[in-house]
Amino acid sequence: MNQPTELTIAVDVYRQRRERVLTALREAGGGVAIVPTAPEVLRNRDADYPYRHDSYFYYLTGFTEPEALLVLDASAASGEPRSILFCRAKNVERETWEGFRFGPEGAREAFGFDAAFTFDEIDAHLPHLIADKPALHYAFGASAELDGQVRGWVEAVRAQGRSGVTAPGAIHDLLPVLDEMRLIKDAHELAIMRRAGQISAKAHRRAMAACRPGVREYELEAELLYTFRKHGAQGPAYGSIVAAGANACVLHYPAGNAIARDGDLILIDAACELDGYASDITRTFPASGRFTPAQRELYDIVLAAQQAAIDATRAGVDFEAPHQAAVRVLAQGLLDTGIIDRQRFASVDDVIAERAYARFYMHRTGHWLGMDVHDCGDYRERSAPRDEQGAIPWRTLKPSMTLTIEPGLYVRAADDVPERYWNIGIRIEDDAIVTATGCELMTRDVPVKVDEIEALMQAARASAGAACE
């Protein structure tokens, strides 16, 4: 990943997060945590895929270079380093080809670690760091390479057993500790996420304004990517979906080369990653700049479902509440339009009980959002007793959790569905911060109401026309 846009690295933010982890591990009996960053991945011959750091590692360090590993020693004796970075050595020749590297000393100073060593010193240091410590904490099972390395370090300690050194007696999964921290965003994170949402909203506005019948999906994708980079985001947070006409009914359709035709709706689900944080926006709009009556009917149902979900999002309710609110509105709309047969389903409760809506709304209404677009964090209360149906209860929303609110309807051509709705796919997605009394939407700098979308598109056409005259 390119360097973050943060002008100065928020050293204290990352240091405080490391301190929180150290405190949590101390309270759990101590031990050593190991957090590697992501590996570089070869694309072909000597060309790599664009590098993206590991989110957990970045959360605790702010450090974006590959070949790095963080050690947090919650059992360090007083005066010994607790926060230790391994990273690439300075290398004049490699830096000539690939650019600046901090090197251990530079990284220690710039990012506030207690100590730093080169990456190729890991195998020499780790057995000493974990010797005589009660436990190891890492994401076991997440990387075969790390599992193998840890085994090697533990074996190296055991090999010295006759000199009185003991190997850690337990291995704990570190991720639940980090997931809980990442689930509640701090002020630094929320500020970046708001900015990411604003840039992504700009990109959607630009794509709407550029849309005309005859344009291809990839041309609209180009408008999005241009805007992300133009405003400093490092790139898209996930593969951009730009789907014209019936393609919108394919949930993970990647931007292709289909032509947006007069009468088509265009569904764009695309957003940027800024300084390690994802945004996630979907808008659906007509290629012609005017919704047809059938498109408008379904659009307004999805918009009402989204509003119901937004109204149901606040601290103290469970994660499922917005979904249930959206499903009820969508199910009612499917009955009202006759897309679901009113002869077969007497009431909206029947539609919900039999999940008849799922043929037209097959995904959930939201997910955690953060460093990863589908961010980490439990959706259910792990430690709560099971309810009467034997299910683990849904998680209760808390202030500063961030999630998406993204209902949709996808109506494929089918004999039992009124033809006027065939091949209409609509999703509307915004990003929300949970507050005590409701939620703050971070992505509303792009129109969402039919009239506002049409007005933006008409204004764009009028000004393009004027420019040509």
Write the interaction track for ligand GLY spanning residues 220-239; mark x where CB under 6 A is met and - where it is not: ------------------x-
E strand residue ranges, 217-349: 235-236, 241-244, 265-269, 272-274, 277-278, 282-286
Cβ contact 138:21 at 8 Å:
no
410 among known catalytic residues:
yes
Q: Report what 238 binds from ligand GLY, Mn ion, none; CB cut-off 5-8 Å by kind.
A: ligand GLY
Cα distances from 292 to residues 280, 288, 301, 428, in angstroms, run 27, 9, 14, 17
CA distance 271 to 425: 19
Of 367, 364, 368, 348, give the one whose Cα is nearest residue 356: 348
The continuous run of DSSP H or E covering 146 comes out as helix 144-158
| Whether 125 is catalytic | no
Closest CB 369 distance from Mn ion, rounded Å = 7
Could you say which of Mn ion, ligand GLY, none residue 208 binds, taking C-beta under 5 to 8 angstroms by partner kind? none
Between CA 117 and CA 121, with CA 119 as vertex, the angle to 5 degrees is 65
Please identify, using beta-carbon distances, which residue of 219 and 280 lies nearer to Mn ion: 280
Place of tokens 């339009």: 337
| Alpha helix stretches (DSSP H) within 45-143 | 55-61, 92-98, 103-111, 122-130
Q: How far is the CB of 215 from Mn ion (least distance, A)?
A: 21
> For the chain, what's the residue count?
469
Can you read off the two tokens belonging to residue 202?
């700009």
Decide which of ligand GLY, Mn ion, none touches 195; Cβ closer than 5 to 8 Å per partner kind: none
Q: How far is the CB of 465 from Mn ion (least distance, A)?
A: 32
Does the annotation mark 204 as catalytic?
Answer: no
Among 65, 264, 406, 454, interactor with ligand GLY by CB under 6 A: 406
- Minimum CB–partner distance for residue 272 and ligand GLY (Å): 12
Please, what is the minimum distance in Å from the beta carbon of residue 235 to ligand GLY? 14
Cα separations in angstroms, 371 against 41, 191, 280, 429, 453: 20, 13, 11, 18, 29
364 binds ligand GLY (CB under 6 A): no
Which of the following is catalytic: 65, 280, 430, 454? 280
Q: Give me the amino acid identity at 442.
A: M
What part of residues 270-329 is at the interface with ligand GLY (CB under 6 A)?
280
Residue 185: contacted member of Mn ion, ligand GLY, none (CB under 5 to 8 Å, by partner type): none
Q: Which of residues 252-291 bind Mn ion (CB under 5 A)?
A: 269, 280
Catalytic residue among 45, 252, 382, 386: 252
Question: Least Å distance between CB 254 and Mn ion?
Answer: 13
- Looking at residue 105, its amino acid is E
Footprint of ligand GLY on this chain (CB under 6 A)? 238, 269, 280, 367, 373, 406, 429
Footprint of Mn ion on this chain (CB under 5 A)? 269, 280, 404, 429
Catalytic residues: 46, 252, 269, 280, 363, 367, 374, 406, 410, 427, 429
